[in-house]
Amino acid sequence: MFNLVSSDWISCPSRVPVLALLVDKDQRNQPSQQQELINCSCPFLARHLTLAIPIIAAILFFFVMSCLLQTSFTDPGILPRATVCEAAALEKQIDNTGSSTYRPPPRTREVMINGQVVKLKYCFTCKMFRPPRTSHCSVCDNCVERFDHHCPWVGNCVGKRNYRFFYAFILSLSFLTAFIFACVVTHLTLRSQGSNFLSTLKETPASVLELVICFFSIWSILGLSGFHTYLVASNLTTNEDIKGSWSNKRGGEASVNPYSHKSVITNCCAVLCGPLPPSLIDRRGFVQSDTVLPSPIRSDEPACGAKPDASMVGSHP
């Protein structure tokens, strides 16, 4: 429905979307709802009602596409993985044996947030303790701040930095779908005046197909918009709601959401209107190997993070 092709990825363990095409090669010959509206309903409604109808449809369409592109191309809040030296230092702090290759059972740390104890889990892939509300996406293979979910429709994770664009996308898409549905119904109703309604349906098969598609898709889109409106008002994420992090879904006692501001308006402003944090991705950096060499470091070799001596440059072992 959104005519978005799958993204190409950088060839490295950490997957970051770098390119997306707007039209899928398998869907180039398939007309979209917007194309059907422009080709069938808009000219008729513009002649018989008002020229504002195609203008409103075009504005909604471009706003939806703008939000879709922003959601797809914006860094969702990916946290860079720990370097080899950082991971080794953290492992030595946790492991009493001092072996950086030892892999103990899952570990957690506890922090206090607004009087509520929050556990920080250790990510064995990124080699770090995840900050609060951070989760590792199995599709993108990255830890994402305020992880909500991975959306296959936009080809990207939805997190701290692009959630506002995602919410604007599904909300505007709901208005666009409802607007198209109303326009098609009006189109068929006006065309059937003074003639048989069944014959009108036979004369406009594209409008009938569009009406059926809109009717079945509008409920899922409206339901998704309503669900995320509830999440925004409660300052929750989809991941937290599914896991029941602050409810009794797990069978235990319900705990208070420490991130809620106890006000719907304040929660909405905090989620949607707060300052956008900077991206932590170094797009010009090089991918470092996440494996430690088994051989010990020789005395004539620089340690982790140390700069090599000028006399060693170009030398051979």
Instruction: State the sign of the Cα–Cα–Cα–Cα dihedral 233, 224, 37, 208.
Output: negative
Distance CA(79)–CA(159), nearest Å, equals: 11
Both tokens assigned to 170: 């599904």
- Rounded Cα–Cα distance for residues 110 and 118 (Å): 6
Alpha carbon distance 27, 86 (integer Å): 46
Residue 40 catalytic?
no
* CB within 8 Å of 166: residues ≥ 6 apart: 67, 71, 148, 151, 154, 158, 228
* Beta-bridge partner residues of 121: 108
Question: Rg (Cα) of the chain, in Å, rounded?
Answer: 26
What residue type is 154 in one-letter code? V
Give the single-character DSSP code of 288: P
Q: Active-site residue among 40, 137, 151, 214?
A: 151
Amino acid at 316: H
- Point out the residues that are catalytic: 151
